[in-house]
Amino acid sequence: MIKHTPPMGWNSWNTYGPNINEKLIKETADAMVDTGLLAAGYEYLVIDDCWSERQRDENGRIVPSKEKFPNGMKAVADYVHSKGLKFGMYSCAGNYTCAVYPGSFEFEFIDAATFAEWGVDYLKYDYCFRPYWQKGHILYKRMGHALANCGRDILFSACSWGVDETHKWIKETGAHMWRSTGDIVDTWKSIKELALKQVELQPYNGQGCFNDMDMLVVGMYGKGNVALDGCTDEEYRTHFSLWAFLNSPLMIGCDVRNMSDATKEILTNRDIIALNQDPAGRQPYLADNNTNIMTWVKSLEGGDIAIGFFNLTDNNQCPWIPFDNFGINRSANKALQLTNLWTGEDIGVYKDIYRAPVMLPHTCMVLRGKLVDAK
């Protein structure tokens, strides 16, 4: 499998942590279809940690929790598939998962075969309780080989949090995405920290193996497993826009059975999702000299140019961007016809520079520009 665009879906961890079961997963699958999330591109439903028994069976096979998943995982996978979704699961490169359930170390091929048998399409692979004498790249290569030979196309989602210089070796392992950050929590501070950390790691992002900035906290509002203070809708909008602009996988983490209208509107904004899923898959880059505002630019399929202003400060800001910062010089005699992707508004044709109106703290402005002849 080659992934040309960042994976999109839902993961159980952010809201539910260990409190997962067959009923919840089925209801989530229903909601992903009924609320239009699947239609918007969110195709993977992923069960994170805490789904198994604490012990393997006598043949060394991992066993789903009898209490949480009484009908086994094949039944869950079948249900998820029947809704038109793909099914994801979780394991770990160490002896145990982060919540101390059996990990796949020394069981890589058995586990990959088991996942294939159940109909798994996606494996998130964590990094807790790993043997310290073994190098990280070998641990991920072991599972990479097992998945590549299991007879089923399984997306490999590596989760070593960017430690041990993951960026230097992860593309060798067969991973289709890799966690380039530590764990997100539902606060503005966490969103900002993860975004800043991506600046130096962005050159390692690319088609086939995407930098994963961790699951989204949009719509959690301070409730659930990784909830702390919660964020405002404006902050969630900025968070979603950043993850989308930076080509991160978009894995929803809220309770999709009970989304607010604002949450639904943020998560299903097709123009923002289109930036994330742009077929050209170009790397975004920082394009300003203004240290108060993060200004990302990205070239899009068909010649359009995306510009994102992100006010991560606690003050009002008035950002601007000279077009020669991204290679459109005066001599080209071209202008940009700009659309604001959150309001849908055509904001006019600009030559050489665009100056944004006042931006409140923690807000963003995401523009799509079409190159036109200057008048």
Q: Which residues bind ligand GLA (CB under 6 A)?
A: 13, 48-49, 97-99, 126, 159, 161, 183
In the complex, least distance from residue 210 CB atom to ligand GLA, rounded to whole angstroms: 16
In the complex, what is the shortest distance from the CB of residue 94 to ligand GLA, in angstroms, rounded to a whole number?
11
Closest contact distance (angstroms) between CB of 201 and ligand GLA is 16
State the nearest-atom distance from the C-beta of 73 to ligand GLA, in Å: 17
Q: Which residue number, 179 or 362, has a Cβ lying nearer to ligand GLA?
A: 179
Return the number of the residue (49 or 255) whose C-beta is nearest ligand GLA: 49
Helix axes 108-118, 136-148, angle to 10 degrees: 40
The residue of the chain with the least Cβ separation from ligand GLA equals 98
Minimum distance from residue 353 beta carbon to ligand GLA (Å): 41
Residue (126 or 186) nearer to ligand GLA, CB: 126
Q: Least distance (Å) from ligand GLA to the CB of residue 13?
A: 5
Q: Which is nearer to ligand GLA, 158 or 359 (CB)?
A: 158
State which residue, 150 or 158, has the beta carbon closest to ligand GLA.
158
Active-site residues, by number, are 126, 183
Nearer to ligand GLA, 117 or 183 (CB): 183
SS3 letters across the chain: CCCCCCCEEEECHHHHCCCCCHHHHHHHHHHHHHCCHHHHCCCEEECCCCCECCCCCCCCCCCECCCCCCCHHHHHHHHHHHCCCEEEEEEECCCECCCCCECCCCCHHHHHHHHHHHCCCEEEEECCCCCCCCCHHHHHHHHHHHHHCCCCCCEEEECCCCCCCHHHHHHHCCCCEEECCCCCCECHHHHHHHHHHHHHHHHHCCCCCEEECCCCCCCCCCCCCCECCCCCHHHHHHHHHHHHHCCCCEEECCCHHHCCHHHHHHHCCHHHHHHHCCCCCCCCEECCCCCCCEEEEEECHHHCEEEEEECCCCCCECCEEEHHHHCCCHHHCEEEEEEECCCCCEEEEECCEEECCCECCCCEEEEEEEEEECC
